[in-house]
A = this chain, B = another copy of it.
Amino acid sequence: FLAGHSPASGDNPDRQWLPSMDTPEGFAAHREWEHILADARLSVVSWPSELGGRDASLLQWVIFEEEYFAAGAPLRVSQNGIFLLAPTLFAHGTPEQLARLMPPMARADEIWAQAWSEPEAGSDLAGIRSRALRTDGGWLLSGQKTWSTRATYADRGFGLFRSDQEADRHRGLTYFLFDLRADGVTVRGIPQLDGEPGFAEIFLDNVFVPDADVLGGVGDGWRVAMSTTSNERGLSLRSPGRYLASARRLVQLWHDAGDPSDTALGDRVADAWIGARAYQLHTFGTVTRLADGGELGAESSIGKLFWSQLDVSLHETALDLLGPRGELAGNWMDGYLFSLSGPIYAGTNEIQRNVVAERLLGLPRGER
């Protein structure tokens, strides 16, 4: 199915590639593609069938993802909803919330944007200042969120707001779901390195949210969000197929454009493939462990550190292979620019290294 329908065939990534999902046309084209996926019930294979999935096991899902990327299919424009919000909803949502929110998410009828960071709270979520005030039948949200991925085009947002103004830091935060087109919401795109507004700022001015759109308990947002943050890091689990597909394209580029006598570049091509393969097998191990009832936990930081660095070096190798053409705009350059965000987003790599050192190696927290 994928080989026939995928908008970009793996054999020739330059042909039929969808425009960047950070552009208006690209976003629409990606939404269209996800409608097709959903019609084939392939958009959320690991979900329960009554919500649009196929009850796939984790392993089946990893294999599906591999096929998906091997066929040259594009990144998912729904990813913030499917990979960040959905696990939290499954863990903390009410049956009513699941029934109401999941099917349109599965069909990309509602595309979600995360509203995590604030100007004064980047890596440090506990510094959040946006507030929620109690009102009749719900809450009024006010404040500013930033670095919200594709919020310019998305339909709904999710994030933390301070519902108890007296409480300190982690306490007094509540997890809200809100409509990006509601009264009082202003979204302003932030152009990225590639010139497209892949990120946005969201300004909220007394935006009404009904009680039904509180996720988890009032004041319990930190705990709920931490499970999401761990999922955001768990994005790792999304992508082994993706890096292997990139590595295979790199090997192809090496054959097409590389100088076979240049072992320096050849070694880097080999390392890129070895890294992608390592990440795939590592993910198999993680999935086996999860299937046995294990938890992902801090080990997801290991995966995140690895894939984010692999993605950068793989694309650097591609640009270097292109020789004097290395500076030109194109798919490899787009992939390179995108890869640079890897070590920054979903918890900077500096924070991930702290997590690995403290929670897996048992080094003392103390000062940093």
> Which residues in A have some Cβ–Cβ distance to B below 8 Å?
261-267, 367-368
Contact = CB atoms under 8 A, between A and B. Distances in A.
Contact of A261 (B263, B265, B367, B368): B263
A354 to B, nearest CB: 13
Contact of A263 (B263, B367, B368): B263
Contacts of A266: 264
A145 B264 CA distance: 47
12 contacts: A261-B261, A261-B263, A262-B263, A263-B263, A263-B264, A263-B265, A264-B264, A264-B266, A264-B267, A367-B367, A367-B368, A368-B368
Nearest to A268: B264
Nearest to A261: B261
Nearest to A262: B263
Contacts of A261: 261, 263
A262 to B, nearest CB: 5
A364 to B, nearest CB: 13
A216 to B, nearest CB: 34
Contacts of A367: 367-368
A283 B266 CA distance: 36
A367 B366 CA distance: 10
